[in-house]
Amino acid sequence: MSRWSRSRVRCCLAVLAAALSLGFTAPGSAPRAGEPYPGPYWVNPVGPAARQAAEWRGAGRAADAELIERISLRPQADWPRPEGIEQSVRALTGDAARAGRVPVLVAYNIPHRDCGGLSQGGAEDAAAYRTWIEAFARGIGDRPATVIVEPDAIAHLVSGCPGAPSAERLSLLAHAVGQLKRGPATKVYLDTGHSGWVTDQSTLLEPLRKAGVEQADGFSLNVSAFQTTASSAEYGHRLSAALGGKHFVIDTSRNGNGPYTGGEDPWCNPPGRALGTPPTAATGDALIDAYLWVKRPGESDGTCRGGPQAGRWWPEYALGLARAVGGPSATGTA
């Protein structure tokens, strides 16, 4: 991905600060006119949603541009590509630190990633992964960051992932947690799937412990999924109790209308979904550290239902997510 110069980034941040009062906000977190999104998370001014909003506004599609700004003007996680990871992470955390905010990053490069699914890939072997995650941690350094560690890696392992040795994967996850927690201002959440996936939580406990959850700040739920905030919170509270009170975060990026129940592959670009509660650390729940937009709304789950490849920007789907805000269960808490 091409990057703007620092001066352009600072310029865009200034423009965003004046504009962030637009769009929608979670109850209790609405900024006053002229104030930026109340944080603490960083809004990256460079991204497909921001480019789409600018393009449509220039083309006279002002209403559609305003809808897409419901995405572009909200903090979202960055998923740095494996190549040049140390430099990419250093640039992201540096830009966020200069803005006085905390970036949300996703470490997603475990060997046998996605178990051969639409987001398959990952490091070539265990040694390559260790080298990669160490570079990721060096890129953060002593700057603030919140890191989601390897979405789906444990849930896939528990539910069956041919070709991924269990002991090796858990060892690599523990190494990742240990390396990232060397950063004095890094919060680390080990991903645990979602409430509709592994229903027998007892099968998660030993893998999570071996993967380093006790050293992490907690675990993450619902990444790239659509389970409601209420079901995720209930699931998280039960898992937390079994783990001795660990905290957790929930991905609310696309759960505004809950999960899709109208056909096959409910996980892959399902129709009729909506943006969920905007990112905030003010959850009102002592165990839930944050609602985050980990999956970047509008980026495809894969080549199903006419979508582009996994991770590619799909403006029509993004527009649908933004347009559906305000419909039934739009807060994702039903």
Q: How buried is residue 228: exposed, middle or buried, by Cβ count under 10 Å (0-12/13-18/19+)?
A: buried
Q: Rounded CA gap, 30 and 49, in Å? A: 21
Among residues 64, 217, 289, 301, the one annotated as catalytic is 301
Among residues 64, 78, 95, 152, the one annotated as catalytic is 152
289 among known catalytic residues: no
301 among known catalytic residues: yes
Among residues 64, 78, 114, 191, the one annotated as catalytic is 114
191 among known catalytic residues: no
Q: Which residues are catalytic?
A: 114, 152, 301
